[in-house]
Structure 1
Amino acid sequence: MTDEFVDRSHILHRTFSERPSKIVGGDGISLILENGKKVIDACCGPSVSCLGHSQPEIFDAIASHLKNDIAYVYSGSPYTNTATEELANMLLADKPGGLSKAIFVNSGSEATDAALKLAVQYWHERGQPQRTHFISRKQSYHGNTIGALCVSGHASRRELYQDFLSSNVSFVDPCYAYRMKQEDESDEKFVQRLSLQFENEVLRVGPDRVAGFIAETVSGTTLGCLPAVPGYFKAIRDICDKYDILLILDEIICGMGKTGTMHAWEQEGIRGPDIQTIGKALGAGFVPLSGVLLHQKIFDALSVGSGGLAHGHTFQAHPLACAAALASQKIIKRDNLIERVSQMGQKLESLLYKEIGPRPLVGDIRGRSLFWAIEFVLDTKSKTAFSPEYNFCGKVVKNALSLGLNLLGNLGHTGEYQVDHVLVCPPYITTDAELQDIISLLKAAILKTSQPFTYDERLIELSNGKTSAEIGVVYVS
């Protein structure tokens, strides 16, 4: 049934059955609703508003740019501009992992499309135009345009558009240890199994046909802030190097400081990717902006080849967007916010394990720094998932909102494994007291959502953190 407001609105809202609350402002990490209520934003949308919702310095930077500089420059023209050059220089002056050039676009989906086209052009410039096949991972998400959906392993988002999706993409398993690692399997053996699967897929397709392997360094909304087990990306990097395959890392949601380092791959013991996508926290939500970072070797191949980029958008490298992102990144650097993210992340991790971990329907808590998720299961011993129709995580999100807490749950059925999770990834400026409030409200929302399942809460309190299976609690829906 369509909500009356949604029916009247000239906006085609993404959900028809529920009336959206109107946001009229922001205060720090909180959203201010039309009725005056404040809602703590513990997820920053899909982990976007990393500096909160009220940053006068960024507002001033936007106004100053409009007053004193140029609002729009077409990237296909023979011109450049100060804001775009300065933003790229700030990100790449030290050439992290050999990354030396940037393409700035609007959405993360555009960044993925640009990265794929860049990879294909690279192989054309290298005299290997047959390299057009990409290997991705199941239950991944790289964007919602047709090009990005081609390499996304998100089942429900791909479903309607199968006829449009490329056949030169294949999928291997994600590094999802919670459900996929065998009971007696070590991390090392798990990595060996996954890396062998990847190498076998390369050999099946033919190494001379594979353009690149694309993966989220830390999975976002599909598998819930899922880091790889130690050694996984090193093994993947080695295989890519062995067969001269481009490694494309998607850090649109997990990068730009969110996991405690500017780039999430810096914690993986690798030299870096050949191509990397960034976004969301790049402009901190004040402007739409994403980007592609490319290794010097990619630029060198294009430089000695065609001498240009066979790709472009009208609003590519938009000066105003770059000016706002530059102001955001200057604040992050000046205030040592990435270091603060790491410190506050330790406190968030401790609170999650202490206050949320013992809850009877909590199966797994995972993440890094200020990028965390809680996965819920019907039974913690068997890891039995809720049915998709029950939408347990959606109910947690709804109950949390009624208590004044904004969370993000999973976005549809993503594949073989039903993953009921909520993301907790508060802004970089979150205080100790706000973390406590977030966890307190989250705990209350989980308890409220769990009420349809029969259990004795006193047993949980007496269990000292043991699982439901260990204390013999049975749930009946």
Structure 2
Amino acid sequence: MTIPDQSFQLHHTTPQPMAISSSGLRFTLSTGQEILDGISGGAAVNCLGNGNSELVKTMNEQAEKMAFTYHQSLGNEESEKLAKLLCEKSGNEMKAAAFLNSGSEAMEAAIKLAREYWVEKGQPLKNHIISRFPSYHGNTLGVLGIGNIPSRRTVYEPLFSPNIHHVASPQYERFGLPDESEEAYSQRLADELESTILKIGHENIIGFVAEPIVGAALGVMPPPKRYLPLISKVLKKYDLLLIMDEVMCGSGRSGELFAYQSISTKTDGEEGEKVVPDILAMAKGLGSGYVCISAVLTGQRVTDRIRKSGGWKNSHTYQNHPVNCAVARKVMEIIERDDLLTNVKQRGEQLLNELRELTKDISIVFDIRGKGLFVGIELNGSSSLEPRLAARVKGRCFENGLLVMAMSGTIDGIEGECIILGPAYVVTEEEISEIVRLLVMSIKEVAEEFEEEY
């Protein structure tokens, strides 16, 4: 297929490279070039790779059996089974679930649900939300305001609620003070949250919104030690809701099905402090890109209150779609049956180790971090560079046959350059090494050109 000079698609006025087929972690382009997928389709979505015949079969069988029911009129077995499965996989820490169509939609619904919870409890003055900066929670108007990445939200700024407040996102490597431990840094951020709560008045606040492992906003950032337990302690002190965004980091990408479970327990063998969200949103890997599905899950107190008040007031036409739910349940089944979370952990450790070893002498590489198959490579490069450094590396990776994600503004919304990796859970040891080889080669090539410019 010949790529036209101008695209008919609104989102891309300049046509993108045209993918015509894919199998596993390989895309074939219209030019004949083959691209190795290091980011699960482009945004950590396609966790089982392309061409999975079981998912295609499930999709077809459910569509033939029953393609659609409107959730306000009829229930369906697949949404009920998927909700039960996810609640059980949370260790029954989550008590109920509903299914929507995108991560943005799930986060928007989660915020509305949190507000509804307090209204039903007879506390309608609670209408303020605290989030973090930088942060990203979706592209609908409500969650664009709750998140804070200037380049994504500036044009819409006049439409945002004034009742949204931001505290610092955790970036220990960048903003930890000299001789300040991770635990002390986490306490400093928890103190900032408490100070913000006191300034607003806890009686006016709905809750706190955060990704347990920050994705696009910071270029993959697991929290520093004790961050979540200390934040949770503050929220419990003032009886505020904890709303977790696992749209990007959840569904197994961290090595556990739920990302909060992978970081609220210490990794040195000692039992850590349990942190459980009141409301949780997940998407992306939930349907592995084969269907458009997201989920909102609720803990005990939110579930009890909403049921007592007669049910959740949120409603979308394609909510609890039976085909989407059937495919998502099959995705969860395959992940468990094939022990893919073990592969996520093993290949994730391999990815971090190989990257750290092969980039240790590259001056523009600032940090390598991640959890499971969710890894960020932070680069040193000024925002004055045009094109930006991350974009240059992403472009060179593509030329060399590798698909990655590039983010700029990951330090403070303006400065900061990161490459994100998130290959499919079925990735092999050999494919991880090839991803590393291509990325490191691309970074070195760009670094040499970068040094020549300056």
TM-score range, shorter chain: over 0.9
Query: 3-state DSSP class of the match of 1:96?
Result: coil
User: Which amino acid in structure 1 is aligned with residue 70 of structure 2?
Assistant: Y
**1:111 offset after TM fit, Å?**
0.4
**Is the 2:410–2:417 Cα contact (8 Å) retained in structure 1?**
no
- 1:321 has 2:327 as partner: no
Residue 142 (structure 1) aligned with residue 145 (structure 2): no
Q: Give the corresponding residue for 2:445.
A: 448
Is this contact kept in 1: 2:409–2:417, CA < 8 A?
A: no
1:335 paired with 2:338, answer: yes
Residue identity opposite 2:422 in structure 1: C
- The residue type equivalent to 1:5 in the other structure is P
Following the alignment from structure 1 to structure 2, what is the Cα–Cα distance between the partners of residues 75 and 448? Answer: 53
User: Is residue 1 of structure 2 the alignment partner of residue 5 of structure 1?
Assistant: no
Counterpart of 1:64 in structure 2: which amino acid?
E
1:466 paired residue number:
none
Query: Do the aligned partners of 2:253 and 2:344 also contact (CA within 8 Å) in 1?
Result: yes
What is the identity, as a one-letter code, of the residue corresponding to 1:310? Answer: K
Aligned partner (choices 281, 285, 288) of residue 285 of structure 2: 281
TM-score (norm 2): 0.94
Query: Equivalent residues in 2 for 1:1-400 (5 A)?
Result: 5=4, 7=6, 9-14=7-12, 16=13, 18-44=14-40, 45-67=42-64, 69-77=65-73, 79-93=74-88, 95-96=90-91, 98-266=93-261, 267-268=263-264, 269-305=273-309, 307-378=310-381, 385-387=382-384, 389-400=386-397
* Residue in 1 that maps onto 2:270: none
Contact 1:222/1:419 (CA < 8 Å) preserved in 2? no
Deviation at 1:86, TM superposition (A): 1.2
- Once the two structures are TM-superposed, the CA of residue 414 in structure 1 deviates from its matched residue by 7.6
Report the RMSD for the aligned CA atoms in angstroms.
1.6
Give the distance between the partners of 1:299 and 1:27, measured in 2 at CA. 41
- Structure 1 residues 432 and 95: alpha-carbon distance in aligned structure 2, compared to 1, 3 A threshold: closer
Over residues 285-318 of structure 1, what are the superposed CA-to-partner deviations in whole Å (9 max), with x where a residue is unaligned? 111111111012112112222x121111011111
SS in structure 2 opposite 1:448?
Answer: helix
Q: What does the per-residue CA deviation read over 1:194-250, in whole Å, with 9 as the maximum and x for residues that have no partner?
A: 000000000101001110100011111110110110100000111111100000111
CA displacement, residues 90-125 of structure 1 (integer Å, 9 cap, x when unaligned): 111255362111111011110011000000000011
Query: Whose radius of gyration is greater, 1 or 2?
Result: 1
State how far apart, in whole Å, the 2-side matches of 1:47 and 1:134 are. 27
What is the deviation of 1:416? 4.5
CA deviation after TM superposition for structure 1 residue 412, in Å: 6.2
User: How far 1:185 moved relative to its partner?
Assistant: 1.2
Between the aligned partners of 1:85 and 1:411, the Cα distance in structure 2 is 40
Moved more, 387-396 or 219-228: 387-396
Distance between the aligned counterparts of 2:388 and 2:52, measured in 1? 35
Distance 2:184 2:409 in 1: 31
- Offset of residue 191 of structure 1: 1.1
- In the TM superposition, residue 411 of structure 1 has moved relative to its aligned partner by 5.8
Q: What is the deviation of 1:70? A: 1.1
How many Å separate the matches in 2 of 1:85 and 1:329? 14
Contact 1:143 1:152 in 2 (8 A): yes
Q: Aligned to 1:172, what secondary structure does the other structure show?
A: strand
Do 1:97 and 1:273's aligned partners in 2 also have CA atoms closer than 8 Å? Answer: no
Secondary structure, counterpart of 1:212 in structure 2: strand
SS in 2 for 1:443: helix
User: Which residue is 1:459 aligned to?
Assistant: none
Deviations 1:431-452 (A, max 9, x none): 1111111111101111111122
- Structure 1 residue 402 and structure 2 residue 399: aligned? yes
Provide the rounded CA distance (Å) in 1 between the counterparts of 2:360 and 2:129: 38
Opposite residue 404 of structure 2, the aligned amino acid is: L
Letter in 1 for 2:402: L
- CA distance, structure 2, for counterparts of residue 140 and residue 90 of structure 1: 30
Render the CA deviation track for 1:140-181: whole Å, top value 9, x for unaligned.
000011011121111111100011111111000001112111
Percentage of identical aligned residues: 34
In the other structure, the counterpart of 1:468 is none
User: Aligned partners of 1:414, 1:128: CA distance in 2, in Å?
Assistant: 37
- Once residues 393 and 106 of structure 1 are traced to their aligned partners in structure 2, the CA distance between those partners, rounded to angstroms, is 30
**AA aligned opposite 2:400:** L
AA in 2 matched with 1:75: H
Report 1:425-464 matches (<5 A). 425-454=422-451
Residue type matched to 1:12 in 2?
L
CA 1:205–1:219: 2 relative to 1, 3 Å: same
Query: Which is further off, 46-55 or 27-36?
Result: 27-36
Cα distance between partner residues in 1 of 2:347 and 2:413? 34
Tell me which residue corresponds to 1:418.
415
Distance 1:453 1:66, change over 3 A: closer
What TM-score, normalized by structure 1, do the two folds share? 0.90
Tell me if the contact between 1:92 and 1:100 (Cα under 8 Å) persists in the aligned partners: yes
How far apart, in 1, do the equivalents of 2:324 and 2:308 lie? Answer: 31
Unaligned 5+ residue runs, structure 1? 379-384, 455-474
Q: Any idea what the Cα deviations from partners look like across 1:332-381, whole Å, max 9, x if unmatched?
A: 01001112111111111111111123312100111111100101114xxx
Structure 2 CA distance for aligned equivalents of residues 319 and 290 of structure 1: 13
